[in-house]
């Protein structure tokens, strides 16, 4: 007996970034990763690029496919922009 299983056109895959499941048609495969790791939401990948500041996959070390952008370099964090006065002595009377 052979059951004819309709292969569903959309199967659920897990976004490797936000770990939520979605239909693979909603997912992107931005790099050369294979298996379940290759799927990610386009928005998630873009957000990831924004946070990382580059478009290279950390797993497969491939450039993500065109279409993903990186923001301009974030402004340097200015710690200690106000000078710290060492040797400031409290004079108590
Ligand atoms: Zn996602
Ligand atoms: Zn990859």
Structure confidence by residue, pLDDT tens digits, 23-75: 999 999 999 999 989 999 999 999 999 999 999 999 999 999 999 999 876 56
**Ligand 2 ion: Cβ-proximal residues, 5 Å cutoff:** 31, 33, 57, 59-60
Confidence of residue 79 (pLDDT cuts 50, 70, 90): low
Question: pTM surpassing 0.85?
Answer: no
Identify the residue whose tokens are 């450039």.
63
Instruction: For residue 91, report the distance from its CA to the centre of ligand 1, in Å.
Output: 58
Q: Which ligand is nearest to the CA of 62?
A: 2
Domain 12-52: which CATH class? alpha beta
**For residue 65, which ligand has an atom nearest its CA?**
2
Question: Counting every residue, how long is the chain?
Answer: 93
Instruction: Give the residue-averaged pLDDT of 65-93.
Output: 67
57 vs 64: CA distance, rounded Å: 6
Provide the β-strand partners of residue 21: 14
């Amino acid at each position: 007996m052979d059951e004819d299983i309709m292969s569903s056109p959309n199967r659920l895959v897990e976004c490797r970034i936000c770990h939520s499941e979605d239909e693979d048609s909603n997912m992107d495969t931005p790099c050369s990763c294979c298996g379940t790791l290759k799927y990610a939401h386009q928005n998630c990948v873009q957000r990831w690029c924004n946070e990382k500041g580059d478009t290279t996959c950390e797993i497969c070390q491939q450039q993500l496919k065109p279409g993903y952008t990186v923001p301009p370099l974030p402004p340097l964090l200015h710690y200690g922009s106000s000078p710290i006065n060492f040797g400031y002595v409290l004079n108590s009377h």
